[in-house]
Structure 1
C-alpha cells in the first residue's frame, strides 16, 4: 500500500481529518465481513443500555399503580425485557474483544510486512545509520515488540468507538424526546465538546511523547540489556548491576520527568475547563428535569428516562480504556511507518531514475577516482581511490584500521553510494544497474556475519533460499567450505538448530561458524553469484586458524572473482593480488613476492606482524607448549 498522502493539519480540524483518514486506510485491510460484524456488534452493545433505560423507566413508572392495588401484573413485560437487554449486553460484550483481536491481527500483519520491506530493503543503509531515522524506526516497531499499541490496536480501538457514539446518539434522542430537541442537542453538544477537547489534549501529549523518541530508545536499550542474556556474563564478572540500576534510573527519569511535566501542563488546564463545560451543560439539563418533575409537566416515566439517559452523555467525555491510548499510540506507530515509506519511496524513485541498464554485464570491476565520506560532517574515508578487480582472480585488500577497507566493501555491495567518482562493472556504472540484480551477483561474508538461531540447513540455505529444500546442494556447499563433517556430526544433521537455547539445539565454535558462513556464501556462488567478498570474517581467530581458513578459501574459490579484506597480512599472501590501502587510496599493489621486493609499507607491516607472531610462539613454548 502506498504511503498516506499528506493532509493539511494547520489546526485541530486538520489533525482530526488526518487521523480519521488513517483509520480508513487501516480498516481497508480488515475483511469486509469481519468489519461489518464488528460494527454491528458494537452498535448493538452501545444501544442495549438505551433499551435497558427505556424498560426500567417503564417499570418504575408502573410501580405506583402496582402498589395501589393493581397487582404486579400491571408491570407487564417491562421487568423481563429490561433483564433481557442487560443479559444480552453482557453476553455480547466478550465478543467485542474477540472481534477486536481479529482486527488487530489482520491489520498488524499488513503493517509488519510494510515495516519489514522498509527496514530491510526499502531504506538505504545510510538512512538506517541516521539518528532521526532510527528514532522513527524505533517508534514504528515499538508496538510490534509489545512496548506500545500497534496500528492494529488503533484500528480495533476506532471500531470500538462505534458503541460509544451509538450510545450517545440513543441517549441524546431520548433526552430530546422527553425534554425537547434543544435539551437533546444541549447534552449531545456538551458531550462532544468535552470529548473533542480531551482528545485534543491527548493528541498534544502524544506529540510530546513522539518528540522524546531518542530518550525512549536509550531507555529501551537499557531495559533489553538488563533483561537479556547477551551481557549477563560481563554484568556478573564486572559487578555492573548497581551501576546498571543507577543508569536505568537516570535514563528513566530523563524520559519520564519531561513526559510527566508535559502531561500536567497539557492535560490539567483543559481538564478544569472541560469539567466546567460539563457542569454547565449537565447542570442545565438536570435543572430542566427537576423543574418538569416538580411542576408536573413531566411524568414519572419521563423523569426516569431523562435522569438515566442524561448520565450517558455526561460520562462521554471521560477516558475510554478500549480506544484512547490505542488510537493515539497505535496511529503514532502507523504514521512512523508512513514516514519511513516516504523516505523509501523517494530513494526508490531516485534509484529508478538513475537505472538505465537492464542486465548486469560481465567484466572487470573498477573504482574510478572514488571518494566517500559519511554524512553529517564525517571525515573522508576514501579519497580518489582507483582500483581494478580482475575477473576470476583473488584480490586481498589490507591496511591499518581506518584505512577504508570495510567502506570499500560497502560501496562494492552498493550498501552506500560514492560521494564522487564511480564504481563500474564491465564498463557500466553500478549506479545505473538495478540494485537487486547486482546483489544477486554477490556473495558476502561480513565481519559481523549473522549467526542465525535456525537449523544448519537454513543457516546455509539462506545463501540461496530457492535451494533450502535441496539437502544435496546444501551438503555440497558445506563440503566445499570444509563444514560437511561439522554438519554430519550434529545430533540431527542439517535439521539441528544452531543454538543451545533451544531443545535439541547445539552451538558451534567460532571456527565452525566461519565454515558455516563460508558454506552459505559458496552456495550462492554455485547458484550464479560471480563475486565473492570476505570482509574480515576471521577477526576473532588466531593467526594459525585464520591462515588455514584463507588457504582453504583460496583453494576452494580458485577461478572465482573474490575480494578478501584482512588485517593480518600473512594470512592472504597466496592471493593473486594484494592491495594496500592507506589514507583512502591504493598505496601499493602486487603479489606478495613483488610487494616484499618493493620493501615498502606492505613489507614493513608484514615483518612487524611476523615478529609479533614469532614472539607469541616463543612465549607459548616457554610456558610449556600449546594447550
Structure 2
C-alpha cells in the first residue's frame, strides 16, 4: 500500500472510532453547550493541580514564617470554584444529554421513515441494530443519555485532573511525571477487558430484544386486556426482569475485574508510587527539597491517580456505541430501503390496465419465493378480488402494486409502462389503500380522514359513504389521552380507515387496494360498506383482499393465489361452476351454513341465494352465510362444528 493511502486509511479508522463520533456529535448538537461542557472539563481538571500548587506555597510560607494570607485566600477561592463548578457542569451535562437524546430520536425516526421501501424495516440485522441504538434512551444495558453525559464528564474531569497534576510533577523531575503517569495509565491496558462489552454478540442481542419486547408488552395499552384476562401480568414482568438480569449478567461476565490483571496492576502501582515517594523522602531529608515543595509534589503525586481506569470506562463505551450505531443506521437503512424513482408522470393512471408479467418476489433470507411467476391483467375501472390461504402472497402482491417493494423478477406494467419508470411519489399519489394494520392517528377525526387536508364537506361525504358519519365531531381527537378526546371501537376505526381511502379517491387516486378492509365489521356492516365501496370506486381500479367469500363474490373477477401462483381466475359464477380450488374454499367456509344453491349462482327461484341473515338468537353469523340446519339431536362444539351424539 502506498504510504499516503496507508496514512489516509489510518485517519479514516481514527475518525470511525465510536468515542470520536460521540464527541463530534456532542458538539454538533448544541455548539454553545458543547463548548461550555469542554471548558468546564478543562477548568475542573486544572483546579486540583492549582490546589496542589497553592497548598505547597501555603505550607512553604508557614515554614519560613511569612504571611500566608494571600496563598490562603487563593486556596479558598480555588476550593469554592471546585464546589461551584461541579453542579454547573452537572446541569450543562443534563441539558446537553437531553438535546442529544432528541437529536438521536430524530435521526432514528428519519432513518426508519425516509427510505421509500420497506426492506430496511423487515431486515432482522437492521432491526436488531435499531434496538441496540435505542438503548441510549431506554437504559437497558447502559445509563440513559441524560445521565451518561454527566458520568462521562466526570470521568474526563478525573483524567484531566490527573494529567494536570502530572504536569506539576514535571517541575520535580521528568522521570517522576512519566513514571507515575505511565503506571496509572497502564491500568487501562491491564484492565481493558473490564471496560469493553461486545453488545453485537447474538446472545446479547437476543436478551436485549426479549427485554425490549417484554417491556413494550408491559406498558402498551393494546396488550393490557389479554395480559389481565389470561393472568399474564406477572409473567410479563418476570420475563422482562429475567432478560434484563441476563443483560446485566452478560455485562458482568464481560467486564468483571480478572484476578491476574488486578494483581499486575497493583504491583505496577506499588512499585511506581513507592519509588517516587522514596525519592521525595530522600531529597526532603537531605534538605534538597523544601517542606512546601515536598507537600506540593506529594499532593500532585496522589492526584495523578485520577487518570487510572475508572468511571469513564463504564459509561463511555455503551454510550458511544449507541450514538455511533444510531448515526450509522441512517446510511445503512437508506441503502437497504433504497427504491429508485423514475421520472414519468402518473396522473390519471391506470387508464387502460395493470399487467403483471412473470412477477416473482423473494424476501431477503427466505428459503423460497413468496410470488412465483405471477401473470395477471387488471383492467382499469374493474374490481379484482384476491383470495387464498394465509401465506399465499396476497399482501405481498398489494405491497408490490403500492411499490413498497420492487419485484425480484418479472415486471409490473401500468398502461404498458414499467411501474419503476414512474416517479415514485407521483405513482403513490395514484394509490389509496386500507391495510389490515391501518394506523389510528392521535389526531382529530378530520385529520384521520384527510391527513393532508380536505374541505369539511368532502370529509363528511366520505365518512357518510363509509358509514362513519356521526362517529364524533370533526374536531374531536381520537384518543382518550387528550382533553375532550374519545376512543372508537375496532369497527368504527375501520370505517375511518375506509373513509381515508375514499378521500384519496376524491383527490384523484386511480387504484384502490383493500387488504381485509372489513375484518372488524359485523356482517351487516360488511355488506353495507363493501357495497358502498364498489359504488364509490366505480370507474376506479379496485383490488380487494379478503377471507370472506360473501364479500369477494361481488367483485368483477376473483383470483385464487396458492403458494405464490395463480391457480384460478374468473368471476364467482365461473369459478363455482368449475368446481376447482375456489369452489373448495368457498364450500369449506360455507360448510356450517345453509346455501340454497351449492354453486352460489342462482337458487331455484332464479334469485341470488341469501347469504346474510340472523341466527336463531337474533345475531348474525360471523361469515355472513346462512347457518345450516343442524341434524336432529346434534350439537355444536366451541368452533361451531356439528357434533352428533
TM-score, normalised on structure 1?
A: 0.85
- Over residues 107-166 of structure 1, what are the superposed CA-to-partner deviations in whole Å (9 max), with x where a residue is unaligned? 334332222222223284234233322211111122234544567877776666653444
- Over residues 187-211 of structure 1, what are the superposed CA-to-partner deviations in whole Å (9 max), with x where a residue is unaligned? 233333334555x435532457786
Looking at structure 2, the residues matched to 500 and 434 of structure 1 have their Cα atoms a distance apart, in angstroms, of 39
Structure 1 residue 539: deviation in Å? 2.1
Q: Of 165, 169, 172, which residue of structure 1 is paired with 2:166?
A: 172
Q: Contact (CA 8 Å) 1:149, 1:325: kept in 2 or not?
A: no
Looking at structure 1, the residues matched to 114 and 126 of structure 2 have their Cα atoms a distance apart, in angstroms, of 15
Distance 1:251 1:109, change over 3 A: closer
Matching of residue 531 in structure 1 with residue 511 in structure 2: yes
Q: Per residue, is there more helix in 1 or in 2?
A: 1
1:292 equivalent in structure 2: 283
Would you say how many aligned residue pairs link Structure 1 and Structure 2? 598
Q: Contact (CA 8 Å) 1:137, 1:337: kept in 2 or not?
A: yes
Looking at structure 2, the residues matched to 135 and 282 of structure 1 have their Cα atoms a distance apart, in angstroms, of 47
Matching of residue 142 in structure 1 with residue 141 in structure 2: no
Looking at structure 2, the residues matched to 78 and 50 of structure 1 have their Cα atoms a distance apart, in angstroms, of 14
SS at structure 1 position matched to 2:213: helix
1:365 equivalent in structure 2: 354
Q: Contact (CA 8 Å) 2:54, 2:75: kept in 1 or not?
A: yes
Q: Contact (CA 8 Å) 2:15, 2:21: kept in 1 or not?
A: no
Matching of residue 224 in structure 1 with residue 210 in structure 2: no
Distance 1:285 1:431, change over 3 A: farther
Structure 1 residue 601: deviation in Å? 3.5
Matching of residue 94 in structure 1 with residue 87 in structure 2: yes
Q: Contact (CA 8 Å) 2:560, 2:582: kept in 1 or not?
A: yes
Matching of residue 341 in structure 1 with residue 326 in structure 2: no
Looking at structure 2, the residues matched to 437 and 192 of structure 1 have their Cα atoms a distance apart, in angstroms, of 60
1:189 equivalent in structure 2: 182
Structure 1 residue 24: deviation in Å? 5.0
Looking at structure 2, the residues matched to 437 and 154 of structure 1 have their Cα atoms a distance apart, in angstroms, of 45
SS at structure 1 position matched to 2:539: coil
Q: Contact (CA 8 Å) 2:342, 2:424: kept in 1 or not?
A: no
Distance 1:154 1:366, change over 3 A: farther
Looking at structure 2, the residues matched to 624 and 553 of structure 1 have their Cα atoms a distance apart, in angstroms, of 27
Structure 1 residue 573: deviation in Å? 2.8
Distance 1:144 1:123, change over 3 A: farther
Q: Which moved more, 1:616-625 or 1:428-437?
A: 616-625
1:35 equivalent in structure 2: 34
2:601 equivalent in structure 1: none
- Over residues 222-242 of structure 1, what are the superposed CA-to-partner deviations in whole Å (9 max), with x where a residue is unaligned? 233234443333233323355
Looking at structure 2, the residues matched to 376 and 370 of structure 1 have their Cα atoms a distance apart, in angstroms, of 19
Structure 1 residue 337: deviation in Å? 2.6
Looking at structure 1, the residues matched to 478 and 22 of structure 2 have their Cα atoms a distance apart, in angstroms, of 43
Which structure 2 residues correspond to residues 241-252 of structure 1 after superposition, within 5 A? 241=233, 243-244=235-236, 247-248=239-240, 251-252=243-244
Matching of residue 516 in structure 1 with residue 496 in structure 2: yes
Looking at structure 2, the residues matched to 184 and 399 of structure 1 have their Cα atoms a distance apart, in angstroms, of 78
- Over residues 265-292 of structure 1, what are the superposed CA-to-partner deviations in whole Å (9 max), with x where a residue is unaligned? x755434333333223222222222222
Distance 1:196 1:398, change over 3 A: same
Looking at structure 1, the residues matched to 503 and 584 of structure 2 have their Cα atoms a distance apart, in angstroms, of 38
Q: Contact (CA 8 Å) 2:107, 2:327: kept in 1 or not?
A: no
Distance 1:303 1:145, change over 3 A: same
Structure 1 residue 517: deviation in Å? 0.8
Matching of residue 430 in structure 1 with residue 419 in structure 2: yes
Looking at structure 2, the residues matched to 251 and 219 of structure 1 have their Cα atoms a distance apart, in angstroms, of 5
Looking at structure 2, the residues matched to 347 and 532 of structure 1 have their Cα atoms a distance apart, in angstroms, of 27
Looking at structure 2, the residues matched to 139 and 116 of structure 1 have their Cα atoms a distance apart, in angstroms, of 15
1:103 equivalent in structure 2: 96
2:570 equivalent in structure 1: 590
2:534 equivalent in structure 1: 554
SS at structure 2 position matched to 1:562: strand
Q: Of 456, 466, 485, which residue of structure 2 is paired with 1:481?
A: 466
Distance 1:387 1:495, change over 3 A: same
Which structure 2 residues correspond to residues 312-391 of structure 1 after superposition, within 5 A? 312-320=303-311, 323-347=312-336, 351-352=339-340, 355-360=341-346, 362-363=349-350, 364-391=353-380
SS at structure 1 position matched to 2:197: helix
Q: Contact (CA 8 Å) 2:387, 2:546: kept in 1 or not?
A: yes
Which structure 2 residues correspond to residues 399-418 of structure 1 after superposition, within 5 A? 399-418=388-407
Q: Contact (CA 8 Å) 1:154, 1:327: kept in 2 or not?
A: yes
Which structure 2 residues correspond to residues 58-73 of structure 1 after superposition, within 5 A? 58-65=57-64
Q: Of 94, 112, 126, which residue of structure 2 is paired with 1:119?
A: 112
1:53 equivalent in structure 2: 52
Q: Contact (CA 8 Å) 2:450, 2:500: kept in 1 or not?
A: yes
Structure 2: 5+ residue runs without aligned partners? 1-5, 596-609, 622-645
Distance 1:269 1:137, change over 3 A: farther
1:3 equivalent in structure 2: none
Structure 1: 5+ residue runs without aligned partners? 1-5
SS at structure 2 position matched to 1:551: helix
Distance 1:509 1:27, change over 3 A: closer
Structure 1 residue 521: deviation in Å? 1.9
- Over residues 414-452 of structure 1, what are the superposed CA-to-partner deviations in whole Å (9 max), with x where a residue is unaligned? 233323212122222223444444333222211121223
Q: Of 440, 451, 454, which residue of structure 1 is paired with 2:443?
A: 454
- Over residues 503-537 of structure 1, what are the superposed CA-to-partner deviations in whole Å (9 max), with x where a residue is unaligned? 43221112210111112222333333322211113
Structure 1 residue 585: deviation in Å? 2.5
Structure 1 residue 386: deviation in Å? 1.0
Looking at structure 2, the residues matched to 597 and 248 of structure 1 have their Cα atoms a distance apart, in angstroms, of 55
Looking at structure 2, the residues matched to 196 and 122 of structure 1 have their Cα atoms a distance apart, in angstroms, of 42
SS at structure 1 position matched to 2:287: coil
Looking at structure 1, the residues matched to 536 and 430 of structure 2 have their Cα atoms a distance apart, in angstroms, of 18
Looking at structure 2, the residues matched to 621 and 351 of structure 1 have their Cα atoms a distance apart, in angstroms, of 51
Looking at structure 1, the residues matched to 55 and 304 of structure 2 have their Cα atoms a distance apart, in angstroms, of 18
Structure 1 residue 604: deviation in Å? 4.5
SS at structure 1 position matched to 2:29: coil
Structure 1 residue 368: deviation in Å? 0.8
Q: Contact (CA 8 Å) 1:496, 1:505: kept in 2 or not?
A: yes
Looking at structure 2, the residues matched to 284 and 8 of structure 1 have their Cα atoms a distance apart, in angstroms, of 42
